[in-house]
Amino acid sequence: MVDDAHEVGLAESHADFDVALGAGGVDDVGHDEGAPFCHFLGVADNNAKRRLPVVQTGEPAEEPRPAWHWVGFGAVAIFIVWLPLAYLAEALGRRLTAGILGPAGESHFSELSRSERLAVLARIAVPQGFALVLAAMAGGFLVTRFGQKTTPRDAAFAGLSVGALALGLTFAQAGFSLAGLVVPVVATGAAAAGGALGRRKR
């Protein structure tokens, strides 16, 4: 008497009758291409594999920031760049005007001739204007270089906002002056130029 049915060759149940007969009454785990049921099951399995849905694992694209966000970023960038450049421009202006003003400095300004006073103002204004132009172009470049939907007009708005704020501070301290109107004009134009350059580099 044996305990294992396989030892005497007894037939066991099989999902596919034809394959069970072909295996001599013993379960066969192989795939029989000649068995109709087994072939049908294999085709069904292949079709199921082909129809498996493709899971998208990529993260959704981030929505670009609106243009007015970049206008604010550009205005902040102009201020950040302008402040150290303005200090350097002031130091340069003092050195350039030292030969005209003499040891008395600014207290001697009223005693100068008209041409000398214009020369002093030019040597002070030119370095400051150059610093403002560089800062405004840098901020305008930032707006259009990294903003996906920005244009040089947005960069110009950034420069205009900085120029208007600087103009307001100047009028609050020294009163109204026509010369102060140059600041927003220069800042707006330079920022627009930087914005055009940034759009070409984008």
Task: Please give the C-alpha separations between residue 186 and each of 84, 131, 178, 195, in angstroms, as whole numbers.
Answer: 18, 11, 14, 14
- Tell me, what's the pLDDT at 35? 53
pLDDT at residue 11 above 60?
no
Contact 199, 156 (CB under 8 A): no
Task: Please give the C-alpha separations between residue 97 and each of 31, 83, 124, in angstroms, as whole numbers.
Answer: 99, 21, 8
Token pair listed for 74: 């550009």
Cα 128–Cα 134–Cα 137 angle in degrees, nearest 5: 135
Contact 31, 38 (CB under 8 A): yes
pLDDT digits (tens, 9 = 90+) for 127-175: 999 999 999 999 999 999 999 889 999 999 999 999 999 999 988 888 8
Distance, in Å, from the CA atom of 160 to the CA atom of 107, rounded to the nearest integer, reads: 34
**What is the distance, to the nearest Å, from the Cα of residue 190 to the centroid of all Cα atoms in its chain?**
21
Residue among 121, 141, 122 at smallest CA distance from 133: 141
- Tell me, what's the pLDDT at 179? 80
pLDDT digits (tens, 9 = 90+) for 69-85: 999 999 999 999 999 99
What mean pLDDT, rounded, does the chain reach?
79
* Chain position carrying tokens 């920022």: 191
The answer to whether the predicted template modeling score (pTM) of the entire model surpasses 0.75 is no
Residue among 65, 93, 70 at smallest CA distance from 194: 70
Token pair listed for 134: 């560089």
